[in-house]
Every structure is written in C-alpha cells, then in structure tokens.
C-alpha cells in the first residue's frame, strides 16, 4: 500500500517533468538530480514509459508536419496542452 502510494506520487511528479525532459528546452532544463530520478522512474514504471513514448510520437509527428510547412507555435502549445490533459486524466 505504502509502495503503491509512493509510486503514484512519483508518477505525478514525473508526469509534470516528462515533457520538459523530452523537449530539452534550454529555458526549462531539469537539474541532474531530477533527470536521474525521472530516468530511474521511467525504467520501472510502465505507465510513465507509455506517457513518454506518446510525447515522443507527438513530437516526431509535429516535426514531420513542421518540416512541410511553417510551424504555428500555438498549435504546438495546444497539442502539448491536450497531452497534458490526457496525462492528468481530464480527457477520454
Ligand atoms: Zn510512473
């Protein structure tokens, strides 16, 4: 029970960082401790691994799309918001 709660708390913590981790946004970089903790969690948590894979798919779809036309930063932001809401369970 304690272990499950701790895992849930870590999932919540990770969900808020996965996007920053994958984007490698220089303005919002994770510190090395956070990266280490996140990578350790991704290695043992199927749920967060799936979330990270989803982000990667969306990002590669967006960059393929952006290669064909000028990217609209608002669409990219909107897509990230949709994924954020999916992650938090507000959609579906
Ligand atoms: Zn997790």
- Taking only the tens place, the pLDDT of each residue in 11-29 is 999 988 998 888 876 777 8
Calculate how far, in angstroms, residue 13's C-alpha sits from the geometric centre of ligand 1: 8
Q: How far apart are CA 73 and CA 19, in angstroms?
A: 16
Q: Which residue has the higher pLDDT, 1 or 38?
A: 38
Tell me: pLDDT of 92 over 70.
no
Calculate how far, in angstroms, residue 50's C-alpha sits from the geometric centre of ligand 1: 9
Calculate how far, in angstroms, residue 22's C-alpha sits from the geometric centre of ligand 1: 15
Calculate how far, in angstroms, residue 74's C-alpha sits from the geometric centre of ligand 1: 28
């Amino acid at each position: 029970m304690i272990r499950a709660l701790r895992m849930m708390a870590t999932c919540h913590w990770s969900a808020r960082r996965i996007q920053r981790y994958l984007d490698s946004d220089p303005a919002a970089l994770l510190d090395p401790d956070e990266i280490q903790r996140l990578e350790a969690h991704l290695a043992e948590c199927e749920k967060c691994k799936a979330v990270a894979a989803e982000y990667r798919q969306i990002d590669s779809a967006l960059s393929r799309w952006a290669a064909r036309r000028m990217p609209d930063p608002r669409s990219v932001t909107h897509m990230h918001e949709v994924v954020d809401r999916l992650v938090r369970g507000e959609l579906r």
